[in-house]
Structure 1
């Protein structure tokens, strides 16, 4: 039995699909159209009651959600793929730190940037709220930029699933032009991920307008 991945092109499901490719695993892809509220269908809510993608069914039948948790679980299931630095390595501590930083400090702000009035009273200025949130997002990417290894291809000393997260999330809300200008290390990481042999066709499927 192979993996089954529910996602949407251009979404965080890219990270999971790319990680599975790096691990040489087969996966059945089920693409949902969020613009048609397919993530709110009864069938999908039975899989993930939060109605969010990605969701991944493992070969044993269990379903996982939350991108960062899925990536850590895939690392445990496929250690030869080296999706994370080895247990005990100094790099692993930094990898865990950045995984949580992206998942807790940046990812939630994307939804607020996209839908600011979901999180504020109706009299709130949507433009002002979005501007403030995007400034916070930029600050948190700049923190990572200053502490990136500077290798030009990886956030740490070698490839890891953290690079996948950087590649797909770092232009959400702020745009690739800002990332290119203000975060050249992160921009280089995103471009390197897009060119990786096993990931390149997946990148083209998810981001056809963003060449590597």
Structure 2
């Protein structure tokens, strides 16, 4: 049986093993590196494959009218579905950028929102970094630049969300999808449903951010 579909790991036992290693690692909200090794796992056919933990950050862009800006993903997981803007933490000279910096950078890159607006926004961390994410374990489609993750190896993604509260109406702010986003639109939070999302914890992140 094929344990990988569209570059995503589907085997429940392997997913559980990898998530357990992520949680046990206690890497914290601000990991010391952008990528951590989780050793290797044994596949059903007896072969070994290296596993990595890659850290990301997400931005929940809210306004004064109960609305949120969401992108449509062009890559898996959840290609074609909704997601909050976000992406991987970059590492420069052996030091990772802060999760907050990564979240705001990705918000600008994926939605085109002005950096000046982001500077003026009220920004706060949403809970703690999430490591229990069995729905986001990927098989690398190539050698991933800036990391030691090689094609065919597994990597899972941890993330930390940030509430980015903007004044006014998001529908009046110029937005333009780019980078990993195929589209960007403004939605009423009350109308959102879990099945619309590429990864399920993004809706939880939005609801937590909306509570302030």
TM-score (norm 2): 0.29
Q: Relative contact order, CA 8 A, sep 6+: which one is greater?
A: 2
Larger strand fraction of residues: 2
Larger helix fraction of residues: 1
